Chain A
C-alpha cells in the first residue's frame, strides 16, 4: 500500500516512514503543503497522514479545500488535542485523527480501520502454503474454509508472512504486537504463537521455534 505522510518534524517523519516501510508499505514524505500538493498531483495514494500544523499553512484548511477532489482517506496527526479541535478535524473531512505522540500499533490499527471502512483499497494478500491470508479483512482461507482471525493474530501472522524464513526474536514480536501501556511478558508471545500455530495447521507452513533466538516461518518439508 502507498502512504503519503505530510509532516514537518523530520525525526518523527523518518520514524513513521521507517515503521511503515518495515510493514511493507511504500511511503512518500512531504514536509510542506506545497510538497504534498506535488505528490498528490504525481501519484495516487491509499492513505494520507496529515499533520495539522505545517510551515506553510494549516493542515485542516488544506483538508477542507482539497476534500472535494480528494478520494483518498485521510488521518489527521495532531499535537493540539483540544476537544473541539478533534471534532473539527472530523468535520472538515478527515476519516480519523490520532494525537501525537502516538503508539505505532495504534496508528497501524487506525490506518487499518480507515482503509477497511473505506473499502476500495488494493488488496495485499499473502500466500501461505495452500492458504490465502488477507490481513485487511482479517481472514485466512484454506482450501475453501474461511477462518476469522483476531487482531493480534492478524498482526503476528502478517509479520511472519512478510519475512518468511527469517528468525524473529520474541522481543521484536512483542514490540509489534503490544503497545507499551501495559507490562507484557514474553510468555504472552508464546501464547499467541501457540494459537497461530493451530490456526495455520494444514496449510503447509508452520512456525518453528529457534531455541534462544525466536521463531521462524517455514514451509513443511515436502
Chain B
C-alpha cells in the first residue's frame, strides 16, 4: 500500500470509484430493461395487428378472402412515425402485400386460435425491422390452406424510446454519483476529524510544552497517541540532558580557570619583579580570554538550541533594554563609560532570554571597544513595522571592508588588537535575530566616529 498522499483523499477516491461503478451498472440495467420493455410492446402490437388481419380470413367461392381492417394499421401507428409493411401468403403464394418481405423462419406453425405469433428481426429496405407472423388454416373446398399474415415495422421508434429512457437513466445515475461523492467526502471528513483534532492540539502547543497529550480519541488513534506521548517524554529527557550537559561543561571548564586566575592574582600581589608581574598579567589575560571564549561557545550552543524551539513571549524591548543595560553598567563603569538610553515602548514577540543574550553581546562589544570615559548611546524605537535597538559607541568603528564578515563565526575586526574576545559575540546576536525574523545591522556612526550596531526585528 502506498504511504504517501492523504488518507482522506484516498478514501474519498475509493468511495467515489464504488459510486461510479454502481452508477454505470444501474444505468446499464435500466437501459437494458427499457429496451426490452419497448421491444415487448412492439411485439405485442405487431402480433395483435397480424392477428386482427388473420381473424378476417374466410373462403368465398373457393378463394381465400381477407380484409385489412383500419385498426390493424392504426394500432401500429400509435408507436411513432414508423414504416409498416405487410404480406399475406397462402401456401407460400403471395396474396397481397410486399412480396420481398422476409418469410418467417422454418415451417409455418399453425395455430387455430390465440396469438401464436412467430417473431424475428431482419433487415429490410435499409432498416432494421421486426416481423410478427401469424399462420391460420383456411379450408378452400376440402383442402386446408395455410395462410400466413406477416406484419413488419421498422425499429427506429423503439430505439428512440429506449434512447430517451437511457438518457434519463444516465441523468439519474450522474445525480446519484454526485450525491454519493459529496456524502462520502463528508463522511471521510467526519471520521478523520479526531485525527485533525490531535494534530491541532499538538501544533497549538508552546515549544517547551512536552506534557503528555490527554484527550478522548477513537480506538484507532490510541496507539498513535501513546506513541506520540512516549516520543514527547523521550524528547523532554533529551532536552533536559543537553541543557544539563551544557551547564555542566561550562562548570567543568570554568572552575579550574577560576583557580588558575586566583593563583595568578595572588602571585601578582606577592612578586615585586616587573617582568614577572608582566608575565602574570598575561596569564590572567589568557585565562580571561579562554573563559570568555568558553562562555560564548556555550552561549552559542544554547542559542542554537533555543532558536530551534523559539518561545514567543510578548515583550517590550524598552523594558528588556533597560534591564540588560542595568546588568552591563558595572562593567562599563569600570572604564568610566556611561550609557545614554532613549527608549520608547516597542512590543515584539520572542524569547526574552535570547534577546537579552543578543543585546548583552552587542553591549559587551561596545564596552570593550570604547575608549575610557566615553558614552554609549542606546536608542529603542519602532517604525514601519519594525522595532530597533541601536547601540552606538565612540570606539574605532568598523573597518570599511570588515562589517560584512564580522557576523561570521570567530571573525574579529581589524581594530580588535589588544582586546580580549573570541569573535562569537556578533554571531550569537545575529543568530538570535535571524531566528526572530530580524536582522543585525552593522555600520559606523553618521558622524564617522564609532560603531553602530542595530538589532532590528518585526513588531508584534
A residues contacting B by CB (< 8 A) are 9, 11-12, 14-15, 18-19, 53, 79-85, 87, 96, 99-106, 109-110, 112-113, 150-152, 171-172, 175, 179-183
**B-chain residues with CB within 8 Å of residue A85 when the two chains form the complex:** 247
B295 within 8 A of A: yes
Q: Which residue of B lies closest to A90 (CB)?
A: B327
Interface size class of B (residues with CB under 8 A): 35 or more
A183:B288 contact, CB within 8 angstroms: no
Q: Which residue of B lies closest to A18 (CB)?
A: B266
Identify A12's interface contact among B258, B306, B333, B420, CB under 8 A. B258
B353:A83 contact, CB within 8 angstroms: yes
Given contacts A81-B295, A81-B298, whether A180 and B281 have CB atoms under 8 Å apart is yes
**A-chain residues with CB within 8 Å of residue B265 when the two chains form the complex:** 15, 19, 104
Identify A83's interface contact among B251, B303, B372, CB under 8 A. B303
B274 within 8 A of A: yes
- Closest 3 pairs between A and B when the two form their complex, measured CB to CB: A101-B258, A109-B330, A15-B262
A81:B254 contact, CB within 8 angstroms: yes
A12:B288 contact, CB within 8 angstroms: no
A79:B330 contact, CB within 8 angstroms: no
Closest beta carbon of chain B to A107's beta carbon, Å: 9
**A-chain residues with CB within 8 Å of residue B336 when the two chains form the complex:** 150-152
B156 within 8 A of A: no
Residue among A109, A152, A180 with the highest chain B CB neighbour number at 10 A: A180
Given contacts A11-B263, A84-B243, A106-B334, whether A182 and B258 have CB atoms under 8 Å apart is no
Closest beta carbon of chain A to B285's beta carbon, Å: 5
B258:A83 contact, CB within 8 angstroms: no
A100:B356 contact, CB within 8 angstroms: no
Given contacts A9-B255, A96-B327, A181-B368, whether A101 and B247 have CB atoms under 8 Å apart is no
B330:A106 contact, CB within 8 angstroms: yes
A151:B334 contact, CB within 8 angstroms: yes
B184 within 8 A of A: no
**B-chain residues with CB within 8 Å of residue A9 when the two chains form the complex:** 255, 258-259
B15 within 8 A of A: no
A180:B288 contact, CB within 8 angstroms: yes
Q: How far, in angstroms, from A19 to B262 measured CA to CA in the complex? A: 10
**B-chain residues with CB within 8 Å of residue A84 when the two chains form the complex:** 243, 302, 306, 353
Q: How far, in angstroms, from A51 to B277 measured CA to CA in the complex? A: 29
B261 within 8 A of A: yes
**B-chain residues with CB within 8 Å of residue A182 when the two chains form the complex:** 418-420
B285:A80 contact, CB within 8 angstroms: no
Given contacts A101-B288, A109-B330, A110-B330, whether A82 and B258 have CB atoms under 8 Å apart is no
Q: How many A-B pairs with Cβ below 8 Å?
A: 119
**B308-346 contact mask (Cβ, 8 Å, vs A): 1 or 0:** 000000000000000000010111011110000000000
B329:A101 contact, CB within 8 angstroms: no
A82:B247 contact, CB within 8 angstroms: yes
Given contacts A83-B354, A84-B243, whether A150 and B419 have CB atoms under 8 Å apart is no
Q: Could you list 22 A-B pairs, sorted by A, with CB under 8 Å?
A: A11-B263, A12-B259, A14-B262, A79-B251, A81-B298, A81-B299, A83-B299, A83-B303, A83-B306, A100-B255, A101-B258, A101-B260, A102-B258, A113-B330, A113-B333, A151-B336, A152-B334, A152-B336, A152-B372, A175-B268, A179-B288, A179-B334
Given contacts A9-B258, A9-B259, A171-B274, whether A112 and B250 have CB atoms under 8 Å apart is no
Task: Give residues 156-189 of B contacting A (CB, 8 Å).
Answer: none
Q: How far, in angstroms, from A159 to B357 measured CA to CA in the complex? A: 35
B259:A82 contact, CB within 8 angstroms: no
Closest beta carbon of chain B to A35's beta carbon, Å: 20
A53:B254 contact, CB within 8 angstroms: no
Q: How far, in angstroms, from A180 to B243 measured CA to CA in the complex? A: 31
Task: Give residues 72-97 of B contacting A (CB, 8 Å).
Answer: none
**B287-310 contact mask (Cβ, 8 Å, vs A): 1 or 0:** 110010011001100110010000
Q: How far, in angstroms, from A26 to B251 measured CA to CA in the complex? A: 28
Closest beta carbon of chain A to B309's beta carbon, Å: 12
Given contacts A101-B262, A109-B334, whether A171 and B357 have CB atoms under 8 Å apart is no
Q: How far, in angstroms, from A85 to B419 measured CA to CA in the complex? A: 27
Q: How far, in angstroms, from A87 to B247 measured CA to CA in the complex? A: 13
**A-chain residues with CB within 8 Å of residue B254 when the two chains form the complex:** 79, 81, 99-101
Q: Which residue of B lies closest to A10 (CB)?
A: B259
**B-chain residues with CB within 8 Å of residue A110 when the two chains form the complex:** 330
Q: How far, in angstroms, from A18 to B266 measured CA to CA in the complex? A: 9
**B-chain residues with CB within 8 Å of residue A96 when the two chains form the complex:** 327, 330
**B-chain residues with CB within 8 Å of residue A171 when the two chains form the complex:** 274, 277
B257 within 8 A of A: yes
Q: How far, in angstroms, from A82 to B287 measured CA to CA in the complex? A: 19
Q: How far, in angstroms, from A184 to B262 measured CA to CA in the complex? A: 20
Q: Which residue of B lies closest to A152 (CB)?
A: B336
Task: Give residues 352-380 of B contacting A (CB, 8 Å).
Answer: 352-354, 356-357, 368, 372-373
